[in-house]
Structure formats: C-alpha cells, structure tokens
Amino acid sequence: MAGALAAKRVIPLRARRDEDKEARRRELLDAARALFEATSFAQVKMADVAARTGLAKGTVFLYFPTKEALFLALLDDLLTAWFAKLNGQLSEGGVWTGHQLARTVALSLVGEETFTRLLALAQTVLEQNVTVEQARAFKERVLVSMGTTAALLQQRLPFLTPQTAVQLIRHVHALMTGLRQMADIAPVAREVLTLPHMAPLRVDFTAELTAAITTLLHGLEAR
C-alpha cells in the first residue's frame, strides 16, 4: 500500500519534469526563431540564443548539440504546421482546377517567410551537422505528411496518380526553395532592384509560385 502511494507521488513529479523540459525546448526554439527573423542563420550564435532565454550556453547544448540541430528542429515544427494547414485547405471541396490548387498552395505560404527561408537551408546547411537519428526522425515525419498531402491532391485533381502526386510535392518543394532564395535578397540588392529598368529581376514569390505550379500541373495533366 505504501509503495503504491509512493509511486503515485513520483509520476506527477516526473510529468512536471518532462513538461519543464518541453517548455525549455520550446523557449529555445522561439528564441532561435526570433533571432533568425531579425538577422540570418549565419549571424545567429548559440550564445545569442542562450542570452535571449537567460540560460547558460552549456544548457542550450544539452538540448541541441549544434546550431544546425536547433534550427532543423525549428524547421521540423514549421514544416509540420504548414503541412497541417495546407492539408486542412485541401480537405475542402470537390474537384479543383490546376490554377485553384496552385493558388491555394501559394497563398498557404503567405506569412510563412521564416519557414520557407529555413526550408531553403535544409539540405545544404541544416542537415550537414546533425545526428543520423535526428535526420531520420525529420525525414520520417516529412514522409508521413507527404503521404497525407498526396492522397488529398489526388482527390482535388483526379488526373494525378500516387506517383505524380508525390512528384508534384517534390517539384513544389524545389520551386519554393528556388523562389525563396531569389526573393530573399540582401538590402543592397533590394535597393538596386527599385530602379525602374530592374523590374524584370524582381520576384513576387506568391505570383511566381502560382504560375510555376500551374504550368507544372498542365504538364502532368497532359501526360
């Protein structure tokens, strides 16, 4: 009887410790996001994240052994949230037009600059300095989300097959990454692009993405 009561007392304490760990992890991710939005990945230092949260630098490394691990975890959260938002939108309605789908995808990214900026760094930067375990967990979650989205895409556009639906997602990823890199330019370049004759070099992320996905869908439908 006494042992059972002791066990009951331990469980809430452990639960609180787990909650505290998750709260601290969330605090670190929020700090990293705020710093990234104010500067760039290259400029953010782990010491800055520690200072913003009031934690010792060593504590930050207990949660995330590298800066890349920290930001891949942030991207993981943002990507999961974006897939959930997009899938919610794709769950509505019957058969769509290609332009309707393209516009929906593009508009789902409005206000998601942090997500698309980090996505553009995933393969070339973030995944270069993380553990196999973290990389696999990230890829597994992406795979599950892609499967759900692919099934919804086939409902909205019946000409898509399971293979072409997944291919569409991969191509949209490539378009998002490329267009974000073109749109996320340095202040000096942004000033140059205000010159009237530089108009052809300006990138409207939403409009360009909508047009590119629409063209891509026309090609898939024509197969």
CATH number at residue 32: 1.10.10.60
Nearest CA to 44 out of 107, 124, 125 is that of 125
What is the pLDDT at residue 92?
Answer: 87
- Domain enclosing residue 178, as ranges: 67-222
pLDDT-derived band at 16 (thresholds 50, 70, 90) equals: low
Last residue of a domain, one of 22, 47, 64: 64
Q: Is the pLDDT of residue 14 over 90?
A: no
- Give start and end residues of each alpha helix (H) in 54-161: 57-63, 67-90, 98-108, 113-119, 132-156
pLDDT-derived band at 15 (thresholds 50, 70, 90) equals: very low
The whole-number average pLDDT for the span 68-87 is 97
d(CA 84, CA 64): 25
Q: Is the pLDDT of residue 8 over 90?
A: no
Please tell me whether residues 60 and 75 are part of one structural domain. no
The whole-number average pLDDT for the span 177-181 is 93
The whole-number average pLDDT for the span 129-158 is 96
Q: Is the pLDDT of residue 1 over 80?
A: no
d(CA 159, CA 222): 9
Long-range contacts (CB closer than 8 Å, 24 or more residues apart) made by 26-32: 27/53, 28/53, 28/55, 28/60, 28/63, 28/64, 28/70, 29/70, 29/73, 29/74, 29/77, 32/70, 32/71, 32/74
Please tell me whether residues 45 and 121 are part of one structural domain. no
Q: Is the pLDDT of residue 37 over 50?
A: yes
**Into how many domains does the chain fold?**
2
C-alpha distances in angstroms, 162 versus 82, 146, 150, 159, 216? 21, 11, 7, 10, 16
pLDDT-derived band at 200 (thresholds 50, 70, 90) equals: very high
Residue 101 three-state SS: helix
pLDDT-derived band at 17 (thresholds 50, 70, 90) equals: confident
The whole-number average pLDDT for the span 133-160 is 96
d(CA 152, CA 40): 35
